Structures are given as structure tokens and as C-alpha cells.
């Protein structure tokens, strides 16, 4: 069964196939108007969401299927009355595909072990693969290519988006530089960096982890940042994190070090004055809303690919 759990297990060719399909879905949505007729997606949420929830649900509707939003806190699983394995077995008898947004990555892995339908990781503390597929689609649209594109990421290095960017970029041959504070709370997991370095050997990409924002920004084609306060971070950490991440804020001065036609990306939600200034977020180089739109097209492509593979 083909799942989308972290993208580490996906060959580069499969990623490219999904990106090509996402482009086609975007160009000709009517072609896919009945592609999911009679099919149901279950969407389990343990954390908040705007984009992921609404784009998946809308995508399924536009392809003639049905999506169920399921708040985990109202489930027997969330109430501690049922385990993940039995949940997986039961939902596999009802629906065709399941996605889940969870805290612990181990839970989505276990869900996939026991489900007999495709499982999609809609974000865990560890990775956010559906986001990065949409981001790669956006970068290719804006830059006309992926190989050799230089992406610089600023801020919280130890989060799901950074981890998935490291995996996705290194697999497809984009150079990735992560500029983040020193220390295990802020740097990408060593295991992810080593995987990215291995993927990069095959694709020809470069992987750099630095504490110097200017070094990462110089000549970059894409400047990317993400929330300093991810959903899994306790509110008490706010003051400390604002202090350590402020040197990595994406400002007009940082943008000026990048390529003249560089784009600014943020997976959103974003706070102006935190991980980027309002000037950058609302400026002419920002593509954040095109990026958000592509979640819709990329998610449709992910569903089509996984459901097609499940038929075989
Ligand atoms: N980028 C993203 O996943 O947004 P949501 O948390 O709103 O789904
Ligand atoms: N790193 C962020 C991504 C939000 C889409 C978080 O986990 O909250």
C-alpha cells in the first residue's frame, strides 16, 4: 500500500509524478470532476488547521467524492477508549483513504501499519509532506525548474516544515540552506540532516546548516520561513523564542542579499512582525497566497495517486 508518511520513503520519480499531476489538475480541473465519485476521505484532526482542512475537503468535493472532518477529541481514540490499531482497522472498512494531523509521528506510522487503505500525514510534529509537495509545485511554477534552485530557510530549524523541506529539496536537487539558532531545540534533527545529505549525493544538491542568516540568504532564489510558535510549542515559550529567533526574521535587508528575482514563501499561518516583516509578507516578492492555493491542486494529485496505487 502506498502511503504518504514522511516523503523519505518516496522515490524522486514518484514526487515528480505527483507534481506533474498537480500541474495538470490545476490546468484542467474539469477533467477530474468525477475522479473520486463514490469515494470518501476521512480527515482526523488533533491540531488546528485552515489550509490543510479546507483544501483537502474542497479538493474531494471538486472531484465528486465526500470528505469527513473528524475532530480527534470527539473520538474514542482521543478519549483513550480505543487504540490506534483498532481505529485503523475499523475506518478501513468504511472509507477509501484517511489523512491525519497529529502530534506524535509514531501514531501516523502505527495508523499506516494497521490500515488497509492509503494513509496521508497531514502534519505531525516531525514532518509536513503535503505542504512541501505544494511548495515544490509553487517553486517550479515561479522559477521554471527545481534542480539547482537555491532555497534558504530561516528560523525554527527543528520543525515539521524544515524537516520536510530538507527531505523534498535534497531528493529533487534543490540546494537547501537552513539558518537557525544553535542548540537542539532549534536545529533540525541530526537524523533528518543525514538523510538529506544522502539524498543530496544522488540528486547533486547541497545541504547547509548555518547559524548565519546572511550566509544562507546570499544569492538564494527562495527565502522561506515558518512560524516561531508551531502548534506543538507551549505558549510559555513565546518570550524565549522571540528572543532567539529574531536574528532570523526575514526582513527587506535579508531579501536584498538574495537573487534580485528571489521569491518569499511561508507555509502560513504567519504573523507579521515575527518570522517576517509585514513589508516582506505583503511585498512584491511574496508568493505566499499562490503557495496556499497550490495546496488545493497538490492535495488533489496526492489523493489521485494514492487511490490509483491502491487499486493495483
Ligand atoms: N500550512 C498549513 O498546513 O496550514 P494549516 O495549519 O492552516 O492547515
Ligand atoms: N510548523 C508549523 C506549520 C504549520 C502549518 C506548525 O507545526 O504549526
Confidence category of residue 45, pLDDT binned at 50, 70, 90:
very high
Residue 262's pLDDT is 98
Distance 312 CA to ligand 1 centre (A): 31
pLDDT exceeds cutoff 90 at 245? yes
Q: What is the pLDDT of residue 39?
A: 98
Q: Which three cell numbers stand for residue 286?
A: 511574496
Q: Write the pLDDT tens digit of every residue in 193-218.
A: 999 999 999 999 999 999 999 999 99
Arithmetic mean of pLDDT, 19-42: 98
Region 260-289 average pLDDT: 98
Summarize the confidence of residues 122-139 as an average pLDDT: 98
49 lines ligand 2 (CB under 6 A): no
- Looking at the chain, which residues constitute the CATH 3.40.50.1370 domain(s)? 7-127+294-310, 129-291
Mean pLDDT along residues 163-192: 98
Atom of ligand 1 nearest to the CA of 47: 6
CATH class of 7-127+294-310: alpha beta
Task: Give yes or no for residue 124 having a pLDDT over 90.
Answer: yes
Fold of domain 129-291: Rossmann fold (3.40.50)
DSSP string of the chain, one letter each residue: ---BSSSTTS-HHHHHHHHHHHHHHHH-GGGGTTTTTT-EEEEEESS--SHHHHHHHHHHHHTT-EEEEEEGGGSTTTTTSS-HHHHHHHHHHH-SEEEEE-S-HHHHHHHHHH-SS-EEE---SS--HHHHHHHHHHHHHHHS--TT-EEEEES--SSHHHHHHHHHHHHHT-EEEEE--SSTTTSPPHHHHHHHHHHHHHHT--EEEES-HHHHHTT-SEEEE--SS-TTS-GGGHHHHHHHHGGG-B-HHHHTTS-TT-EEEE-S---BTTTB-HHHHTSTTB-HHHHHHHHHHHHHHHHHHHHHHHH-
Q: Of the candidates 98, 128, 93, which has an alpha carbon nearest to the alpha carbon of residue 110?
A: 98
**Mean pLDDT calculated for residue range 31-35:** 98
Ligand 2 proximity of 292 Cβ (cutoff 6 Å): no
Mean pLDDT across 72-101: 97
Assess whether pLDDT exceeds 90 at residue 286.
yes
Could you tell me if the CB of 50 is within 6 A of ligand 1?
A: yes
Question: Mind listing the pLDDT tens digit for each residue in 51-68?
Answer: 999 999 999 999 999 999
pLDDT of residue 156: 98
pLDDT confidence band for 224 (50 / 70 / 90): very high
Atom of ligand 2 nearest to the CA of 267: 5
Q: Find the 265 Cα to ligand 1 centroid distance in Å.
A: 14
* Ligand 2 neighbourhood includes 125 CB (under 6 angstroms): no
Please give the mean pLDDT across all residues of the chain. 98
pTM of the model: 0.98
Is pLDDT of 255 > 90?
yes
| Pocket lining: 227 vs ligand 2, CB cutoff 6 Å | yes
Average pLDDT over every residue of 265-291: 98
Q: Residue whose CA is closest, atom 7 of ligand 1? A: 50
Contacting residues for 233 by C-beta, under 8 A, at least 6 apart: 241
Report the nearest-CA residue for atom 1 of ligand 2.
Answer: 230
pLDDT grade for 132, boundaries at 50, 70 and 90: very high
Position 33 pLDDT exceeds 90: yes
When pLDDT is cut at 50, 70 and 90, the band that residue 312 belongs to is confident
Which residues participate in catalysis according to the annotation?
101, 128, 131, 226, 267, 295
Amino acid at each position: 500500500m502506498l502511503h504518504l508518511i514522511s516523503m523519505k520513503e518516496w522515490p524522486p520519480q514518484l514526487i515528480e509524478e505527483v507534481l506533474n499531476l498537480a500541474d495538470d489538475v490545476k490546468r484542467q480541473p474539469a477533467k477530474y470532476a468525477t475522479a473520486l465519485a463514490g469515494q470518501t476521505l476521512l480527515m482526523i484532526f488533533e491540531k488546528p488547521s485552515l489550509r490543510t482542512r479546507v483544501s483537502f475537503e474542497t479538493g474531494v468535493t471538486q472531484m465528486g467524492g465526500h470528505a469527513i472532518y473528524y475532530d480527534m477529541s470527539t473520538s474514542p481514540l482521543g478519549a483513550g477508549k480505543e487504540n490506534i490499531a483498532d481505529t485503523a482497522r475499523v475506518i478501513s472498512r468504511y472509507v477509501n483513504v484517511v489523512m491525519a494531523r497529529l502530534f506524535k509521528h509514531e501514531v501516523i506510522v502505527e495508523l499506516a501499519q494497521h490500515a488497509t487503505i492509503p494513509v496521508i500525514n497531514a502534519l505531525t510534529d516531525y514532518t509536513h509532506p503535503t505542504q512541501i509537495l505544494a511548495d515544490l509545485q509553487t517553486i517550479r511554477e515561479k522559477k521554471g525548474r527545481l534542480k539547482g534552485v537555491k532555497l534558504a530557510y530561516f528560523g525554527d530549524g527543528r520543525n515539521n516544515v524544515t524537516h520536510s523541506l530538507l527531505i523534498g529539496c535534497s531528493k529533487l536537487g534543490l540546494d537547501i540552506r537552513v539558518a537557525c539558532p544553535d542548540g537542539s531545540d532549534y536545529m533540525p534533527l541530526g537524523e533528518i540532516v543525514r538523510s538529506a545529505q544522502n539524498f543530496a549525493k544522488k540528486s547533486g544538491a547541497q545541504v547547509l546548516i548555518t547559524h548565519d542568516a546572511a550566509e544562507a540568504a546570499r544569492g538564494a532564489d527562495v527565502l522561506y520561513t515558518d512560524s516561531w510558535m508551531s502548534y506543538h510549542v507551549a505558549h510559555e515559550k513565546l518570550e524565549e523564542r522571540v528572543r532567539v529567533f529574531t536574528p532570523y526574521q526575514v526582513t527587506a535587508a535579508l531579501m536584498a542579499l538574495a537573487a534580485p528575482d528571489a521569491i518569499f514563501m511561508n507555509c502560513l499561518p504567519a504573523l507579521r512582525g515575527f518570522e517576517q516583516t509585514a513589508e516582506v509578507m505583503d511585498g512584491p516578492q511574496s508568493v505566499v497566497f499562490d503557495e496556499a492555493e497550490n495546496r488545493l491542486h497538490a492535495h488533489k494529485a496526492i489523493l489521485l495517486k494514492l487511490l490509483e496505487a491502491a487499486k493495483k
